[in-house]
Every structure is written in structure tokens, then in C-alpha cells.
Amino acid sequence: MTPNWDDLRIFLALAREGTLTTAARTLGVSHPTVSRRVAVLERQIGARLFERLPDRFVPTSAGEELLADTKAMEKAAQSIHRRSAGLSDTVSGTVRLSAGEAMAAFIARHLAELREKLEQIEFEVAASHTLANLSRREADLLIREQVPEVGDIVARKLGRVAYAIYAARDFPVGRPARVDPVAALVDHPWLGFDDDHGYMPGQQWLLERLAGRRLAVRGNNWLVLHEATRAGAGLAVLPCFLGEPDPALKRVGDIIADVFADQWLLVHRDLRALPRVRAVMDAVIDLFHRERPLLEGKA
Amino acid sequence: MTPNWDDLRIFLALAREGTLTTAARTLGVSHPTVSRRVAVLERQIGARLFERLPDRFVPTSAGEELLADTKAMEKAAQSIHRRSAGLSDTVSGTVRLSAGEAMAAFIARHLAELREKLEQIEFEVAASHTLANLSRREADLLIREQVPEVGDIVARKLGRVAYAIYAARDFPVGRPARVDPVAALVDHPWLGFDDDHGYMPGQQWLLERLAGRRLAVRGNNWLVLHEATRAGAGLAVLPCFLGEPDPALKRVGDIIADVFADQWLLVHRDLRALPRVRAVMDAVIDLFHRERPLLEGKA
DNA sequence: GGAGTCATGTACAAAATTGTACAGGGACTT
DNA sequence: AAGTCCCTGTACAATTTTGTACATGACTCC
């Protein structure tokens, strides 16, 4: 059975350092791990690679014999490392990303780290809801909550956004019931979307529970609602990635199980192969993966 | 952070095979594993190495660029593989191993596999109890139950041997009590050691519980007791590695918690560095490790 | 001779990786 | 157009690996 190549890397480090403890430090693992990995390699190779003295490891003649080839592997690995540093230089150009305004804000918040990772790419982030800008090449990537039935658009699911009720931190609000969190709070002022945006997540859910009561404030996008909530204008259903990290807000009750929005990354089939577009796709996918607890309201 | 060298081995296999499924088969792992390992590598390298088509993986130009170096690593790894096959050729000569007669039988039972693994070594296995043959170079390795306080002898613990009561398979015997397994069986004939070997494991334990009753058969070594038990002469306390694998015997009750014997591998300090001695030591240590369930009566 | 330091070895808990099972998509055949 | 096969992706259970904590031994210093 082929030895694990990485055990050879451990072997080389131990040969160089002479002790489990220093080799472990160099490798960034624990000393028992180095010991086990070398033992496994010796078993697989069927030869003793080190003389175990009480205070150090010394390569045996067998170990010495394998060192030359292991160093050759290291040389090749170092070449791969150098080449991969240069690979990012081929990923350059401008990438236009369009998302709803709340999601665009979320992306914008992470632009610094995206730019640090993809230094040769120039980002354009636009807040928009339409598909028009994809087919007319106004945007390279879209983040949307629905997947259009358009043949030449490829969709990749990014994750799910959870929603909850939020209020300003000093807004006086009692403890909502778990079963119907709005019922105990209907007398408070509520913020929501206007009639043209009744399709927005949480809007119908909220209206059903308000049972005919009018919204205190109506807006046409999340950021308006967000700012109004921060200003103490009332309660609002907001996406968790907006509400949770905002120290000026507090969450009122649990995540709303019935309100969520799947996020999809849309790209034109022809653009997908472009290195810079793919790099941004990967970075966004990674971002959603890492921020999943926040997006789902479980941070 | 340095990529795991073994991920590069996975990368190479996928580049060659073209699909996760066939690469997985070649590597002897599952297809999700190949997928994950390549994804980790791509994240670490910061570049896409494969174009993911619906039915296959195709290396990107970046992937192609790294293939040459990865193949160089493979070449070096193959050289290590060839050299390690030849390493066993340097381990040759005669190794004399001395153990108690039961343990010598145990070792002898595994000589075939030891010889297969260490083809250039000639084994001499002797049944003996004394230390004299170590200092007078009559034996290279000893397996003993005590560690002598002799400065130039190095001891390595091999493991623990458990003991239980055994009878011939058709020997009529009831169900022994758990607390005192001998109590319900004292009327049966019992086999044990003679007075000169009162120190043998289990002997004093047995005599205490027989409360003055005489042993039906007394012998001076385990093999005698073993054979007598097989012949239906009576019940005996035997080491599990003798009793368990013998289809002619049955165990009567559980392992005896109070009766056990630690086995130590003894070697003269000067001999320990000899490749052939060390190779046999390692093989014996490995044997005890693999046979531990049997030795402890838990097979 | 005792204390302190540094090393390895080992047991067990924690973390990470892998395998299994299944879903979904695409290509091919009928 | 429907069915089949093969592939990848994903969730979760199972397995393996790693890290932590501690014991023990060797060496050095006082």
C-alpha cells in the first residue's frame, strides 16, 4: 500500500530537527502526532527509519537512504508552492456583482477581505433586483432569492438566510410568546414593506399576524427598514445578517421558522469559465459558508 | 500554510482518471473523499485546479501547470517505495529468542508470518526460564515476566497475558459463580504446578481456593498442563493465548481478574542497535500488539 | 542527592476525516 | 418523451486522527 506522502514530509522534518518536540513545532502539530506519523511510515515501509535515543531521534542508515528522495519531493512541493503563488496573478480584471440592497450591503461589508484574497480583481457591487443586467452583461454575477428558468443561466445555492424580529436596543418591548411572537406585541408600532414589495420575505407573515392593523412605517427596501428600526421607530422583521451584528439592535424572540430566503448565485454559462468570475464565485461561496451561522441567525 | 503533500497525490490521481469515481477506486478511498481533498487543496493553493463539468473533471491551465511538479513528487515517492523494498535486505543473520515454554509456543505459532516479514533472518526459538543465556550471549532476546535489575539489560513491555479456567470441550462442568469461580467446582479434578513452580501465575490463586484439596495432576510447565487439560484430565488455569484458540478446550467462566502476567522483552543494551535484533524486536512488539485481544482473553 | 528542564510515551477526550446512503442532474438509449 | 446509468454533491454516522494532560526517564545544575 502506497505510503501517505504527507508522512514523508513529517519524516523529513524529524530527520532535520532531531526531536519530536522541535519537529512538531516546525510542522505545527503536536509531538505525539509526529511520533505516530513516523511510526506508521516505518510500519508501511517495513524498516526502522530512526534510532530512538532517550532524548533524540537519529536517522538510521535506512532512514538516510530515503532522505534524498524525500528531499526531492520537498523540492517539487516547494516549486508547486511558488507556482501557486503566481497562479493568482492570472486572476484579474473587473467583476460586477449585483444583489438585493441588503445582500449587497452584506457583501460590501466583506469586500475588504475579498479584495485581500483576490488582489488583482476589481469589484463592482450593485444593489439591484432585476435579471436584465445579467443577460445584457451589466453584471457578471447575481445573488438572488429565486432561480430563473433561463437556459443559459447557471445557479449555485449559497445558503439560507433566516429572519427574526428586531428592535432598537432601548426600545421597550416585553417577552414575546414562542408560539405567536407577534400576538403579544401587536400594540407596538411595526415597520414593513409597501404594497409594491409585498413579496419580500416576512412581509405576508407579518401582515397575517397583525390582522388588519396598519404598519407604522412602510419602506421599499431593507436598509430603510433597518435604519428606521435602529432609530427606534418600531419593530421589524429583518434578515439576521442585518440585525445580529448591529449593536444598536436587539433580537426579540427566536428566529422565525416560517420566514427564510434561500440565496442563489447566478452566472451566465459563458462567463462561468472566466478565471476571475470563477474566483469571485468561489470566494462568495466560501464567504457564505463561513458566515452561515450569522446568516442563519445562530452566531 | 504548506499543503498536505498527500492531497497532491489525490490531485494527480484525479487529473489522470478524470472522474471522482474512478480516481477514488484507484486510490482506494470514497468519491466524496477525493472531492473534499481536491477542494481543500484548491483552497490552500488559492486557485482552481479542475474545471467541473457535469460528468468529469478536467484540469484547468493552473492545474496543468502544477502537474509536472506533482509527477516529480510521484517519481521520488516511487523511488522511496523501491528502496524500502530493498531495505529488508540489510536485515539478516540469526536471532535467538528465548521465552517460557508457553510463550515460546505462542511465538512458534507465529513464526511463519514473522519469517515471511523478515525473510533474511534465521530464527532460533528456545524454551527457557533463565537469564544466564542473555549475558552469555546464548540468546539475543528474552521474553520474561519479570524485569531483572541488571544495568545493561533494556526492557520493553510487550503486554499483559490474562488467565482463565479451561476444560476439555466435553468435560462435564457446571456454571461457575462469578464471585468465586472455583468454589462451585472444587469437587472436580484440578491440574496445577508442582511445588518447585509455585510461583507460576495462577498457582497460588488456585491453591487458596482449593483450600487444602490436592491437585489431581501436577506438572512443571504449561504445555504439560495444556495437554492434560485437553485430554480431559481436569480443570486448569491456563493463559488465554493457550486456551482460547484451542478448539479442544472450553473456557469455564470469565477471565480471572486477579491472575495476569506482564510480558517483557529483554535485550542486552549492546545488541539493541543491531538491525536484525531490532527488526525482530519490532516484529515481536507488533505481534503482541495485534494479538492483544487473544492475550488478554478478549478475542 | 534533589530539583528543574526537556524529552518521549501513553491514555483519553476532542476534533477532523472518511464512508455510507441518498438525492439530483446530465447524457445516452430506446 | 421516458427510462437507465453514471456522475457529483450533501447529510449524517462511523472511524480515524489529533491534541491535551500526565507519567516517566535522562540529563544538568546546584
Q: How many angstroms separate the CA atoms of A56 and A164, rounded?
A: 59
CB contact under 8 A, B84 and A45: yes
Please spell the DSSP secondary structure of B51-100, one letter per residue: EE-SS-EEE-HHHHHHHHHHHHHHHHHHHHHHHHHHHGGG--EEEEEEE-
End-to-end C-alpha distance for chain B, whole angstroms: 44
Distance of alpha carbon B249 from the chain centroid: 23
Q: What is the pTM of this model?
A: 0.42
Enumerate the residues of chain B whose CB falls inside 8 A of the CB of residue A81.
Answer: 2-3
pLDDT at B8 over 70: yes
Confidence tier at A1 by pLDDT (50, 70, 90):
very low
Enumerate the residues of chain A whose CB falls inside 8 A of the CB of residue B275.
Answer: 48, 60
Give the CA-trace dihedral at B112, B116, B119, B125, to 10 degrees: -20
CB contact under 8 A, B77 and A3: yes
Chain B, window 4-33: residues with a beta carbon less than 8 angstroms from a chain A beta carbon: 4-9, 28
CB contact under 8 A, B9 and A8: no
Within 8 A by CB and 6+ apart from A153, the residues are A134, A147, A266, A267, A268, A269
Q: Please indicate whether residue A190 or residue A174 has the higher confidence score (pLDDT).
A: A190
Q: Nearest by CB to B278, which of A28, A43, A48?
A: A48
| Cβ of B117 less than 7 A from strand C | no
Q: Nearest by CB to B48, which of A117, A282, A286?
A: A282
Q: Give the pLDDT confidence of B58-104 residue by residue, as tens digits.
A: 888 888 889 999 999 999 998 888 777 665 445 566 777 888 777 88
CA of A151 to C1' of C25 (A): 14
Q: Give the pLDDT confidence of B246-270 residue by residue, as tens digits.
A: 888 888 888 888 888 888 888 876 6
pLDDT given at position A88: 47
pLDDT given at position B124: 73
pLDDT at B179 over 70: no
Q: What's the whole-number mean pLDDT along residues B33-44?
A: 90
pLDDT given at position A86: 62
Tell whether A45 lies on the interface with B, counting CB pairs under 8 A: yes
Pick the residue from chain A with its C-alpha nearest to B66. Answer: A80
Whole-number mean pLDDT of chain B? 80
Q: How many angstroms separate the CA atoms of A111 and A49, rounded?
A: 49
Pick the residue from chain A with its C-alpha nearest to B119. Answer: A46
* 3-state secondary structure (DSSP) of residue B299: coil
Return the number of CB contacts < 8 Å for A and B.
Answer: 118
Distance of alpha carbon A154 from the chain centroid: 20
CB contact under 8 A, B80 and A88: no
Q: How many angstroms separate the CA atoms of B133 and B92, rounded?
A: 21
**Burial environment of residue B50 by CB neighbours within 10 A (0 to 12, 13 to 18, 19 or more):** buried
With cell 466435553, the residue in question is B170
Dihedral-angle region of residue B172 (phi above 0 means left; psi in -120 to 50 means alpha; beta otherwise) = beta
Report residues 2-21 of B contacting strand D, contact meaning Cβ closer than 7 Å. Answer: 19-21
Q: Which of A44, A117, A102 shows the shortest CA–CA distance to A224?
A: A102
Q: How many angstroms separate the CA atoms of A201 and A145, rounded?
A: 10
ipTM of the complex, rounded to two decimals: 0.46
Confidence tier at B113 by pLDDT (50, 70, 90):
confident
pLDDT given at position B131: 60
Nearest nucleotide over every DNA/RNA strand to the B55 CA, judged by C1': D7
Q: How many angstroms separate the CA atoms of B159 and A112, rounded?
A: 58
CB contact under 8 A, B70 and A80: yes
Q: Give the pLDDT confidence of B10-31 residue by residue, as tens digits.
A: 999 999 999 999 999 889 899 9
Q: How many angstroms separate the CA atoms of B86 and A194, rounded?
A: 80
Distances (CA, A) of B250 to A168, B192, B201, B222: 77, 17, 19, 16
Q: Which of A265, A293, A241, A298 shows the shortest CA–CA distance to A97?
A: A265
Let me know: does B23 contact B16? Beta carbons within 8 Å: yes
Let me know: does A191 contact A234? Beta carbons within 8 Å: yes
Report residues 55-114 of B contacting strand C, contact meaning Cβ closer than 7 Å. Answer: 55
